[in-house]
Amino acid sequence: QVQLVESGGGLVQAGGSLSLSCAASERSFSITAMGWHRQAPGKQRETVATITNGGIANYADSVKGRFTIRRDNVKNTVALEMNSLKVEDTAVYYCSAEAVRLAFPRTRNTYWGQGTQVTVSS
């Protein structure tokens, strides 16, 4: 199965930087894309950034120009470099992976990590 483990969360001051990482362990699955998402208290989960195996990245408007998503296809890791952090960036950040099952039935599903807390203080 596909397992995702996030790390790198913590407490930072507004304007500071933080880098998150996610390691994917998969057997009998092929990951086609990975992404980062976040959920603040009382709010819906939102997609922060995604990246395909080909390196095509997309960002939410709220983080564009401040966050960078990076992918290592060989190691199956994805990182989120966060700069110029704002208080509103405070949330639990989740890593995701879109994966196709190699064995039959070859279904495609999205898998999620357990999340890591990012807190930005003013």
| pLDDT at residue 75, as a whole number | 83
| pLDDT at residue 73, as a whole number | 79
**Alpha-carbon distances, residue 87 vs 38, 80, 119 (angstroms):** 14, 17, 8
- pLDDT over 70, % of the chain: 100
pLDDT tens digits for 17-48? 999 999 999 888 999 999 999 999 999 999 99
Strands 3-7 and 18-25 come out as antiparallel
| pLDDT at residue 26, as a whole number | 82
CA end-to-end span of the chain: 40
- pLDDT grade, residue 96 (50/70/90)? very high
Give the C-alpha separation, 120 to 3, whole Å: 27
| pLDDT at residue 27, as a whole number | 83
pLDDT tens digits for 48-76? 999 998 899 999 999 999 999 999 878 88
